[in-house]
């Protein structure tokens, strides 16, 4: 089977008052139906920009795709007009965000909001659509859904609001769901429940799932593969197990070493000394070199490309000159 989504060498730029900023610099990955890919990295590494580019949601007119391809259903949607891609996304590619309150409309009852896609896209009448909304709210685990369907967003907890967003996202049975930090605003117990819900829904529907997170612990049990981003590039990709057991790039290695061995959940990805680069002035050569304890001369001049280090598992690639020597 061809992958559901294949991103190849994606390049995105933003025009800012301080100059042109390269937010994505040759990002490649793929997701298959029924598979979960985690896209991991610190804030500003390009995770959300990647999702925005796929969904044709880059801020306009500042953000634009300047290179690469986004293959979906045999089409390169990076080359299609924004309007056409958004139409495709409305039925086939859904997205949920960190803060459900900003995505829910405070003045409409939750039931009406969940029912909306059935009325607008499936032509159902109000009663039918509310019936569907009720089914979905039950499925995502809203207690007393029959009565709560008439409540407003502020009457629900943060975790319940995220469940409601998930209900809306899966309403039209998308083939791909992109979840951008879906549990970051929630406490640890609720995070795990939401992750379990997403995993269950995926198993039921066979959809592809992209989980964007800064938290390696949260995704470890649900994702099969990961792409780890740094300064707008994928620096390591492969199966989650393989990356966690044998990281082939110093950045993920450092992140993983900073996770406590018990109860990895909730750990923030900021333990490596130094800070992520300013994208207006990305370091020469390997963008990680100012923070890398293994850096040598070649790291300051030559950009490392993604490749499989000798002896590593198939599909496991890293962008580091020294994977074999030091890792």
Binding site for Mg ion (CB under 5 A): 48
Contacting range for ligand SF4; rule: CB under 6 A; set: 21-29, 221-229, 237-245, 285-293: 285-293
C-beta separation of 157 from 185 below 8 A: no
Give the C-alpha separation, 270 to 209, whole Å.
25
Please state the closest distance from residue 320 (CB atom) to ligand SF4, in A: 3
Q: Does 294 bind ligand SF4 (CB under 6 A)?
A: yes
- Give 252's contacts (C-beta < 8 A, 6+ positions apart): 40, 228, 235, 236, 243
Site for ligand SF4 in 209-268 (CB under 6 A): 249-250
Q: Write down how long the chain is.
A: 327
Q: In the bound complex, what is the minimum distance in angstroms from residue 289's beta carbon to ligand SF4?
A: 4
233 phi/psi in degrees, rounded to 5:
-130, 155
Partner residues linked to 96 by β-bridges: 179
Decide if residue 289 touches ligand SF4 (CB under 6 A): yes
In the complex, the smallest distance separating the C-beta of residue 291 from ligand SF4, rounded to whole angstroms, is: 8
Closest contact distance (angstroms) between CB of 324 and ligand SF4 is 11
Applying CB under 6 A, which of residues 97, 238, 292, 316 lies at the interface with ligand SF4?
292
* Tokens representing residue 303 in the block: 């950009």
By the rule CB under 6 A, 288 interacts with ligand SF4: yes
- Total site size for ligand SF4, rule CB under 6 A: 13
Among Mg ion, ligand SF4, none, partner that 48 touches (CB below 5 to 8 angstroms by kind): Mg ion
| Interface with ligand SF4, residue 320, by CB under 6 A | yes
Instruction: Give 141 or 276: the residue with its C-beta nearer to ligand SF4.
Output: 276
Rounded CA separation 110/130 (Å): 10
Binding to ligand SF4 by residue 299, rule CB under 6 A?
yes
Instruction: Please pick, from the candidates 220, 295, 309, 317, the single residue that binds ligand SF4 as defined by CB under 6 A.
Output: 295
Q: Is 44 in the site for ligand SF4 (CB under 6 A)?
A: no
Applying CB under 6 A, the span of 29-37, 177-185, 204-212, 284-292 interacting with ligand SF4 comes to 284-292
Quote the least distance from Cβ 135 to Mg ion, whole Å: 31
CB of residue 295 to ligand SF4, shortest distance in Å:
4
Structure tokens at 23: 């937010």
Q: Which CB sits closer to ligand SF4, 199 or 282?
A: 282
User: Contact between 54 and ligand SF4 (CB under 6 A)?
Assistant: no
- Which residues bind to ligand SF4, rule: CB under 6 A? 249-250, 286, 288-289, 292, 294-295, 299, 304, 320-322
């Amino acid at each position: 089977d061809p992958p559901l989504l294949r991103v190849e060498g994606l390049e995105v730029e933003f025009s800012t008052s301080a100059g042109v900023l390269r937010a994505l610099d040759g990002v490649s990955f793929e997701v298959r139906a029924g598979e979960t890919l985690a896209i991991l990295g610190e804030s500003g590494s390009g995770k959300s920009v990647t999702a925005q580019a796929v969904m044709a949601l880059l801020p306009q007119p500042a953000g634009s795709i300047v290179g690469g391809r986004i293959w979906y259903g045999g089409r390169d949607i990076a080359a299609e007009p924004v309007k056409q891609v958004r139409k495709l996304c409305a039925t086939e590619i859904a997205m949920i965000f960190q803060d459900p309150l900003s995505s829910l409309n405070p003045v409409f009852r939750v039931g009406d909001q969940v029912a909306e896609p059935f009325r607008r896209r499936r032509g159902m009448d109000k009663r039918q659509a509310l019936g569907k909304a009720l089914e979905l709210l039950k499925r995502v685990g809203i207690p007393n859904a029959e009565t709560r369907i008439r409540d407003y967003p502020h009457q629900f907890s943060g975790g319940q609001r995220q469940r409601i967003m998930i209900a809306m996202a899966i309403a039209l049975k998308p083939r791909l769901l992109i979840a951008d930090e879906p549990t970051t605003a929630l406490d640890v117990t609720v995070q795990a429940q939401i992750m379990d819900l997403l995993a269950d829904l995926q198993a039921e529907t066979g959809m592809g799932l992209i989980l964007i997170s800064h938290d390696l612990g949260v995704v470890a049990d649900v994702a099969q593969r990961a792409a780890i981003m740094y300064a707008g590039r994928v620096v390591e990709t492969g199966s989650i197990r393989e990356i966690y057991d044998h990281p082939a790039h110093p950045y993920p290695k450092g992140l993983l070493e900073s996770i406590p061995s018990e109860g990895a959940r909730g750990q923030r990805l900021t333990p490596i000394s130094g800070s992520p680069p300013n994208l207006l002035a990305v370091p020469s050569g390997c963008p990680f070199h100012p923070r890398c304890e293994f850096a040598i001369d070649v790291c300051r001049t030559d950009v490392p490309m993604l490749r499989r280090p000798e002896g590593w598992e198939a599909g496991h690639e890293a962008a580091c000159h020294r994977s074999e020597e030091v890792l």
